[in-house]
Amino acid sequence: MLDLLQLTGKQRQFIELLQRQHVVESLRSLCVQAGFDFNFINGFLLSGALNSYVQWQEHTQRTWALTAKGEDLTGVLPGSLLADKLLQGQRDGGASPGGNRALLQAELGAAFSLHYGALRREQAVDLIDGDGEGTVAVLKSSVLGAFQQRQGVFEAIAAGKSLDASASSSLEWLQQQGYIVSRVETDYSLTVLPALQTLDLGDVVTTLTSELILSGQWRQADLKPYDIQAEVPDVAYGRPTILTQCIQRIRDIFLNMGFDEMSGYMVESAFWNFDALFTPQDHPAREVQDTFYLANPQTLPLPDDPVLVQRVKQVHEANYGGQWTEAEASRAILRAHTTTSTARRLHQLQGKDGKYFSIDRVFRNETVDRTHLAEFHQIEGVVVGELLSVRTLMGYLTYFYERLGFKDLKFKPTYNPYTEPSLEVFAYHPPSDRYIEVGNSGLFRQEMLAPLGCGEKATVAWGLGLERIAMLLYGVEKLSDLIGPDIQL
């Protein structure tokens, strides 16, 4: 049963179109001409709403279309051009040098081998050498003619033309070769009954405007009803957190600077977190007061590359003395910095140039205060290349912070086990009226690069605090204001 008040705008337009028709030979053609979506109208027809107003009959039609492989041929089947020239030579009664290999190669160019191979696979031609000249001999003229027919059918399909029964053999061959694919289209012919032609759709108000209310016309209008109990999609609501927005902003900056993104693991072995970074096994940073060690698992396997492990051991013992142990290097920890990702990537690069960054979470057993957290994000960056220097490093960092809007920076020399020289980066923080440290940077030492296979390259790198940058961007007094469910910014 047709409920006029429940009709959508498109459905009403379609009914008005049918009221001007008596017989519709093709519903698909009508939809194309009138700009309707056939699938939408098809669903409306099959819903049964028009059963008392329209008689319809279903028709199916088989059509053909080019596959991606067929489209790659750019309109020419392999074998068709050579078949044309050989048949032309036969029609000329042998007077034409159509079978001369040299002339055919000159005419077809680089495509000769492709066309000859296609005909040779169907044993239609062969190559005969005689009198110092090669000849392409025709073995089966019928196959050459079939190639011409296939080319004609192929062109017709590409142009969307209809085909007759004589094309069946060519269609079968083209489908076997994967050049075309068949499709079955459903269409309908309609007969419009008088009940629809005399149907008065009337005017239905779908939007209650202030004019209708103030004038009182809403009392006489037919209002479209709405089912307020109908099921609606469960749409997630909310917005990205400030840190998420900050991460995406920084990611865009590095991508625009030509960097590739890398990632790592939250749970790492001490080998990648410390040993591969030329940090001695008795360094204070490896104490439980600074690093989170895991109880389960307590250890992780060392890298599969025994040469890498041996090189790291040798460089530690040569520079720091004492015995380097695999037991200490195997201890499982929550990564203390994202430089573990850099160490892994340098080992993969083996001296190749590159620019990489990551924005990942790190963990340190620190006392939580206004500018420190035990869990935070670090922005890692590394550039591997030739003739890199402190000036290069400061240039990258200055440009990065300028893109964020910070121009008041200071660089201070510092010490890191794996970089020399090393620089701390400070930025002015207006709420506290002082400079706060926002990152650490430097040039990787050769003692670190050589075991990783990058000893011949210069490398600049940095680790920046995401939360510290967010404090500067949003004028936050303490880091705890940026996390948790009750952010008041």
Q: What is the mean pLDDT of the segment spanning 356-364?
A: 93
For residue 96, the model assigns a pLDDT of: 41
pLDDT range class, residue 349, cuts 50, 70, 90: very high
Q: Is 212 a residue whose pLDDT tops 90?
A: no
Q: Encoding tokens for residue 162?
A: 């209809």
251 three-state secondary structure: helix
The answer for residues whose C-beta is within 8 angstroms of residue 331's C-beta and 6 or more apart is: 269, 270, 293, 298, 299, 300
Q: Which of 353, 358, 376, 390 shows the shortest CA–CA distance to 438? A: 376
Which residues in the chain are classed under CATH 3.30.930.10? 243-481
Task: Give the model confidence (pLDDT) of 452-485 as tens digits.
Answer: 999 888 999 999 988 888 888 887 777 777 776 6
The C-alpha atoms of residue 239 and residue 476 are separated, in whole angstroms, by 20
Show the 3-state SS of 303-353. CCCHHHHHHHHHHHHHHHCCCCCHHHHCEEEECCCCHHHHHHHHHHHCCCC
Predicted local confidence at residue 391, as pLDDT: 94
Rounded to 5 degrees, what are φ and ψ at 349? -70, -35
Q: What are 147-175's pLDDT values in tens digits?
A: 989 999 899 888 878 788 788 888 889 98
Name every residue whose Cβ is closer than 8 Å to that of residue 350 and which is 6 or more positions away in sequence: 453, 454
Stretch(es) of the chain classified as CATH 1.10.10.10: 68-150
**Residue range 275-327, pLDDT digits in tens:** 999 988 888 888 877 889 999 999 999 999 999 999 999 999 999 888 899 99
Domain 243-481 is in which class? Answer: alpha beta
With a pLDDT cut of 70, the percent of the chain lying above it is 96
pLDDT at 313: 93
Q: What is the pLDDT of residue 354?
A: 93
- 4-65+184-223: which CATH topology? Arc Repressor Mutant, subunit A (1.10.10)
Q: Which residues pair with 192 in a beta bridge?
A: 54
Q: Which helix (H) or strand (E) holds 164?
A: none
Higher pLDDT residue, 199 or 442?
A: 442
Higher-confidence position of 263 and 472: 263
Give the confidence band of 56 by pLDDT, cuts at 50, 70, 90: confident
Distances (CA, A) of 84 to 147, 165, 295: 9, 23, 78
pLDDT value of residue 165:
78
Which tokens go with 457? Answer: 């390259």
Mean pLDDT of 419-433: 86
**Class for the domain spanning 68-150:** mainly alpha
Asked if residue 97 has pLDDT above 50, the reply is no
Q: How far is CA 4 from the centre of its chain?
A: 46
Task: Return the pLDDT at 95.
Answer: 43
Q: Identify the CA nearest to 190 among candidates 284, 88, 308, 56.
A: 56
Please tell me the pTM assigned to this model. 0.51
